[in-house]
Amino acid sequence: MNWEGLTCVVTGASAGIGRATAEAFAKKGATVIAVARREDRLADLVDRLGGAPHSYFVCDLSDKEQIRAMAEVIAGRTPKVDILVNNAGIPGPGLVTECSFDDVEAFFRVNLLAPIWCIQALFPLFAHAVRDGRTPAIVNVASMAGRIPIPASAPYTASKYAMVGFSESLWGEMHDKGIQVMAVCPGFVDTEGFPMDVLLKDPLLRWTVMKPPRVADAICRGIESGSTEVRVQGWWSIFYYLTIVMGPLRRRVSQKVWHAKGSGKIQI
């Protein structure tokens, strides 16, 4: 796949997986438009990428009007978008019984509605994208929490299940338009927004934690191979299929995990 001349929009690009993905795309020769809220981080990223033709746009993705404005500005910079990476996300608001209505709404605006709005706003630019190799592509960064429900994290699990289901539903809608749709399901990734200090301190579990560049590399390979889903760290698939085989027994396991968390035996 030839990445030269491709225009890639990456949300949540100020840190973590988004930043690593932007760097990976630029290294392959693509032009990156980085999107996030923190201008200082975005400016630093574009500077590290070498400046123009790379650029950034400051946008609060929980605000659909700002997403519309972003799409208009991007349309003024380029006639097409070849790759959109919907990566921006925030940690869950906590236990559903202990968080407010506003907390839940704000969370879903960023983690679920924003990717949908970005696709809607940028779609005209996808329609004009040059069909080169496996592009254009829509990449939705979900989580293995979108395949395996996490006890004590119902809103976060719901958002990631929705992201996976949304991506799968898009397959048919976008296939006829020549657009690849790929869901990305990482496991534990140590980032600014999702620190994995507890796991990293445990000598028996630190091996389960990844750094963002590993996910970025998986995203690149998935785009190049035309994948519809990428699960970063293959061993997670074993747990995924095990949850399917367990069927109703998953409820008992969830209860055990919940009780262990409450007693302080484990931390999630």
Distance CA 110, CA 75 (A): 22
Q: Tokens at residue 233, please?
A: 């760290």
Q: Token match 């003024």: residue?
A: 76
Nearest partner of 87 among 174, 181, 16, judged by Cα: 16
Any alpha helices (H) in the chain, and if so which ranges? 16-27, 39-49, 64-77, 101-108, 114-127, 154-175, 197-201, 212-225, 235-246, 249-263
**What is the 8-class DSSP label of residue 44?**
H
Distance CA 112, CA 140 (A): 10
Which residues neighbour 221 within 8 Å (Cβ) at sequence distance 6 or greater?
Answer: 227, 230
Cβ atoms of 233 and 215 within 8 Å: the answer is: no
Nearest partner of 17 among 240, 264, 213, judged by Cα: 213
Residues labelled as active-site residues? 156
